[in-house]
Chains A and B, each alone.
Chain A
Amino acid sequence: MSESPALRVKSACKTYERSDAPALLPTSFEVARGEFVSLVGPSGCGKSTLLGMIAGLIAPDSGAVEALGRPVTGPGDGRAIVFQDAALFPWLTVSHNVEYGLRAHGVPKAERRERVREALAMVRLEDVGGKHPYELSGGMRQRASIARALVMQPEILLMDEPFSALDAQTRTILSDELQRIWLETRPAVVFVTHNLIEAAFLSDTVHLLSSGPGRIVKTYDIDLPRPRDEADPVLLDLRHDMLDRLRAEVDDAAGQRAQVAEVTAL
């Protein structure tokens, strides 16, 4: 029996209104069930557009996205999202934030309570369930946001630069925690970041994207045993390689623009 992959992106592309350059050229890739995939690249490389399409929040101009064998037409349906700024509901306590998706899906109260407790324990926030988001630090807010996604028991977890607003230390701690949580729950993950070492550390597969126009320029398979250590020299080498590749792309793009400028000057 061949099970459909978690995600299948088929020639999805996007050009935004009032912009002549495509945000994303036709792009295809697959994410296997339980696989951790990162989309990495500089701003404007289309990685967030790509994630938005997978989430069902942005419609591709052409091409298609399939999740768990079904075409993506909207958000939800086995996919949960963690946003960069946590996007917690400020008027709800942490527990109620985590409970929100279960309420929206009509899960009975007793089961809700149990699942919220589990999710909060998973991100180590058992003690702050009664607090409001403004009482938490940035790192704790992002933990709560991860719990709010995990409580849905998603088969696919989408994360849009979840740690980029945090200080370096908190970021390191949280990416360690994310590795642990992923090993315990094993959803397929699509992780968007501009942090190369973070991507290499967490991922089975890293898609390197470049801007102007956005596209995948290289794919890295990272076959290292887990749990991993961010200080692993292999990861540092990988980071160098990715960085070189990105530099070359940026130089290329700059060269092309310079050529265009020369031509139009004549």
Chain B
Amino acid sequence: MSTATGGGERGASRVARGAGAVALGLLRKSWFVILIIAVWWVVSATGVVDPYKLPAPGDVLSTLGTLFTERALLEDLGATLLRLVEGWAIGVVAGVLLGLLTGGSTFLEDGIRPVIAGLQAVPTIAFLPLAILWFGFNGTAVLAITAFGTFKPMALATYGAMHQISPTLLMAGRALGAKGLFMQRTLIFPAILPSLVTGLKMGWSFAWRALMAAEIVVTGAAGLGGVLELGREIGAIDVVMAVILVILVVGIVTEQLFFTRLERWVNRRWGLVGAR
């Protein structure tokens, strides 16, 4: 009985120590963020800067709450995320398909790749006026820009990945009788998948950038960019900063929760890490 109690106490102290370590780890990674918020709070509290230029952190948070409850910011967030996923998916499929279908031929790749590399050097948002003229001042134009912003890096990532495939692996496949579509499906595609996943992450951040820029201009439909622009129009800096906060959190959460995990899983499954 007494030994059981003793064990329980030791267990409790171990849990406490574990929690302490976790807190310490969190602190180590977030001290700078805490510092920024502290400086922000001090600066706005002392009133050195006009509150119309820099609202207090607390005000931004309460505005964020109001936005969610009264202006249905959740709906805007949903619309933006849906557009992001759609545009990204279209861009990924188109980019990877183009890379796969033309990357096998020197003739096609030599012609097409420099054009895409050239387009990649132009910020995607520069094509927004063109998209508006083609698709109208609406969500379709924004979607097209998002897809296009994803398509370019994905096509380039696919080309790059195809050049990285081990020549021995290709020879092994050919010697075993693989060719044509079978080769593309069972050898080329799985062989480039780990680099593609890294490309997916990059494509996502390109899509996110293009989408935000486009939404700020094309404000008709629901979306975070529209709220941001509305906040500017009415001079509500707390709204602007609250939405920026949401955009920041969405970016971090999707990257950390989804892409980092996906990358880790693929790398393990492909034997790139975890080899003894």
Contacts and interface: CB of A to CB of B under 8 A. Distances in A.
Interface of A: 55-57, 74-76, 79-81, 83, 85, 87, 89-92, 100-101, 103-105, 132-135, 148, 152
B224 to A, nearest CB: 38
Given A89-B190, A100-B186, A57 B174 contact: yes
A100 B178 contact: yes
Contacts of B275: 134
Nearest to A90: B271
Interface in B62-92: none
29 contacts: A55-B175, A57-B171, A76-B174, A79-B175, A80-B176, A83-B168, A83-B172, A85-B168, A87-B166, A87-B168, A87-B171, A87-B172, A89-B169, A89-B173, A89-B190, A90-B270, A90-B271, A91-B190, A91-B193, A91-B269, A100-B173, A100-B176, A101-B177, A103-B182, A104-B178, A104-B186, A105-B177, A132-B269, A152-B176
B149 to A, nearest CB: 29
Q: Give me the 8 closest cross-chain CB pairs, A-B, nearest first.
A: A134-B271, A101-B176, A104-B177, A75-B175, A90-B271, A87-B172, A134-B275, A87-B168
A80 B190 contact: no
Contacts of A75: 171, 174-175
Nearest to A75: B175
A135 B174 CA distance: 25
A85 B175 CA distance: 15
B190 to A, nearest CB: 5
A35 to B, nearest CB: 21
Nearest to B166: A87
Contacts of A100: 173, 176, 178, 186
A104 B172 contact: no
Interface in B177-205: 177-179, 182, 186-187, 190-191, 193
Interface residues of B, number: 25
Contacts of A91: 190-191, 193, 269-271
Nearest to B271: A134
- Interface SS, B side: helix
Nearest to B182: A104
Interface of B: 166, 168-169, 171-179, 182, 186-187, 190-191, 193, 269-272, 274-276
A29 B168 CA distance: 26
B164 to A, nearest CB: 13
Contact of A133 (B166, B193, B271): B271
Contacts of A133: 271
A75 B172 CA distance: 9
Contacts of A92: 190
A90 B192 CA distance: 12
A132 B179 CA distance: 24
A100 B187 CA distance: 10
A132 B271 contact: yes
Nearest to A83: B168
A90 B276 CA distance: 14
A86 to B, nearest CB: 9
A75 B183 CA distance: 14
| Residue with the greatest number of chain B CB neighbours at <10 A, chosen from A76, A80, A87, A101 | A87
A76 B179 CA distance: 11
Contact of B169 (A87, A134, A135): A87
Contacts of A83: 168, 171-172
B271 A103 contact: no
A44 B186 CA distance: 34
Nearest to A104: B177
A145 B256 CA distance: 38
